Amino acid sequence: YTGKSGTQLLTENLQKIRVRDYNSIPVLVKENVSVYDAICTMFLEDVGTLFVVDQNSLLVGVLSRKDLLRASIGKQELTALPINIIMTRMPNITMCEMDDNLIDVAKLLIDKQIDALPIVRPSENGYEVIGRITKTNITKAFVALGNG
């Protein structure tokens, strides 16, 4: 008998959970598409965050629902407005890797006040997007922990 309290066991189990255990498929858009097309993609793919990539499929930006709403309340023609003007761009992107602890990603979501992180694999010239972690994934992990 280890003499560990319930809280200690819960903490230990929580710290064992990795990003790879709860990742989702990322939805990517090319940086030269229009705000109009990005809005269509967000609806069709049913996600709240899009990751923007360059012609080499490397991460260059992030687009949230509010980024697209903000762009839509102006007088601009949305089919003529490229997303790379309104996206949050590198190097200001918070990201994570498959082996990171899920609890650390949850802390980042809170500290940075964002809904999602791209899961990346570093390559020679940048970062390849290989997954997505959102508040929904964290909620699933929370429920799984609660159910033992």
Binding-site ranges for ligand ADP (CB under 6 A): 49, 62, 64-67, 88, 92-94, 113-117
Q: Tokens for 28, please give them.
A: 């990517």
Which CB sits closer to ligand ADP, 97 or 115?
A: 115
Backbone φ and ψ of 94, nearest 5°: -85, 125
Which CB sits closer to ligand ADP, 117 or 141?
A: 117
Whether the CB-CB separation of 118 and 93 falls below 8 Å is answered with yes
Which CB sits closer to ligand ADP, 51 or 141?
A: 51
CB of 104 to ligand ADP, least distance (A): 14
CB of 10 to ligand ADP, least distance (A): 28
Q: Secondary structure of the chain: what % helix, strand, coil (to 5)? A: 40, 25, 30
Which CB sits closer to ligand ADP, 35 or 93?
A: 93
CB of 92 to ligand ADP, least distance (A): 6
Q: SS3 for 58?
A: strand
Tell me which residue of 95, 107, 106, 96 sits closest to 140, measured CA to CA.
106
CB of 64 to ligand ADP, least distance (A): 3
